């Protein structure tokens, strides 16, 4: 009997896949010498696909997966997965919500503090022996007492707000609607929130609905003393406008974990003295990645056994 195929599109824990070896031939997309040839020859055998929210279903194989039944997304975001296409084909989609939220919120605060207190520059100042040769490091801005604006008060946004509040900050947010029972100040638009805030943290989902939600007007409203933190998706911020505002001094600083064309980062952002950068690692802790992988596998096992999916998207 021909065994069904589980196609693993993005990097994934090999250890976590062990329980699925009983049910599938597991194929690693990145190990295929000719992915298009594989899809043409074996695409009809693929029943489950593991991917993430940035890659989705690779275009070369999408139409060849005639019997694809489940797309298991290793991450909370699924903006690269065409849910309309999946629904039309009867393909279920799962993700990994909640398990990574706290780590992402932690990292948002780490980026904010690093930008306000210029931690990377201070680190270099010591390593390059400038402290001994040039004297004291320049004064930086305090974080406590600042106005923190959160774009998207979902699971992650709420955790960011709780952490920021511990620094005696004022909290404001914007979203599709004002939330009941939330004491934080609500602003109907990102522009209004940016005009109020000292720090704007982007924590909204990616996708077409939020593309360039933060653009030139919002960045200019945040102002020459303002700080932008993005731990959401690079697509949410207009990167060209961000570069212009940093270079012109219309924006104070940006701390970025995500970019528009990862892993490519524009030289203007990489060389800027006003940026703090990280390679999309907000959820990348050992513990969380283990839990995420386990949830992906558990969803696949539920599907195989005809049980309710744990974290369905559609």
> E strand or H helix at 5, and its extent?
strand 5-8
What are the C-alpha distances in Å from 9 to residues 12, 30, 147, 233, 285?
9, 7, 41, 20, 21
Q: Among 212, 194, 217, 204, which Cα is nearest to 260's?
A: 212
- 3-class DSSP state for residue 72? strand
Verify whether residue 280 is a known catalytic residue: yes
Query: How many other C-beta atoms are found inside a 10 Å radius of the C-beta of residue 213?
Result: 21
Burial level of 83, CB count in 10 A (0-12/13-18/19+)? middle
Catalytic residue among 158, 233, 289, 303: 233
What are the C-alpha distances in Å from 153 to residues 156, 161, 170, 303?
7, 8, 15, 31
Verify whether residue 36 is a known catalytic residue: no
Verify whether residue 142 is a known catalytic residue: no
Which stretches does DSSP call E strand in 80-178?
92-94, 147-151, 170-174
> E strand or H helix at 41, and its extent?
helix 35-42
| Residue 173 backbone phi and psi in degrees, to 5 | -150, 165
> DSSP readout, 164-187?
HHTTT-EEEEE-SSPPTT--SEE-
What are the C-alpha distances in Å from 78 to residues 81, 120, 209?
6, 32, 13
Buried/exposed code over 223-250 (b: 16+ C-beta within 10 A; e: otherwise): beebbbbbbbbbbbbbbebbbbbbeeeb
What are the C-alpha distances in Å from 73 to residues 8, 44, 47, 293, 305?
10, 20, 14, 10, 19
Query: Mind telling me the catalytic residues?
Result: 233, 262, 280
């Amino acid at each position: 009997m021909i065994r069904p195929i589980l196609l693993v599109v993005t990097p994934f824990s090999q250890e976590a896949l062990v329980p699925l070896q009983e049910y599938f031939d597991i194929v690693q997309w990145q190990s295929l010498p000719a992915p298009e040839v594989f899809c043409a020859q074996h695409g009809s055998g693929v029943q489950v696909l593991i991917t993430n929210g940035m890659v989705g279903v690779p275009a070369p194989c999408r139409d060849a997966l005639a019997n694809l039944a489940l797309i298991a997304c290793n991450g909370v975001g699924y903006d690269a997965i065409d849910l309309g296409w999946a629904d039309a084909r009867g393909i279920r989609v799962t993700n990994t919500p909640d398990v990574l939220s706290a780590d992402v919120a932690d990292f948002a605060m780490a980026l904010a503090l690093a930008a306000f207190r210029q931690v990377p520059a201070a680190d270099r100042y010591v390593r390059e022996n400038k402290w001994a040769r040039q004297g004291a490091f320049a004064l930086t801005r305090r974080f406590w007492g600042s106005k923190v604006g959160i774009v998207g008060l979902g699971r992650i946004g709420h955790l960011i707000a709780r952490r920021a509040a511990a620094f005696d900050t004022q909290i404001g947010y914007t979203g599709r609607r004002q939330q009941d029972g939330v004491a934080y100040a609500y602003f109907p638009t990102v522009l209004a929130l940016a005009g109020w805030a000292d720090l704007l943290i982007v924590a909204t989902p990616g996708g077409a609905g939020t593309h360039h939600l933060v653009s030139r007007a919002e960045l200019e409203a945040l102002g020459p003393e303002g700080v932008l933190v993005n731990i959401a998706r690079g697509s949410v911020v207009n990167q060209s406008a961000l570069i212009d505002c940093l270079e012109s001094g219309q924006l104070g600083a940006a701390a970025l974990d995500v970019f528009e064309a990862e892993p490519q980062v524009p030289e203007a952002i990489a060389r800027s003295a006003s940026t703090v950068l990280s390679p999309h690692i907000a959820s990348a802790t050992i513990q969380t990645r283990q839990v995420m992988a386990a949830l992906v596998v558990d969803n696949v096992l539920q599907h195989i056994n005809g049980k309710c999916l744990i974290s369905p998207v559609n």
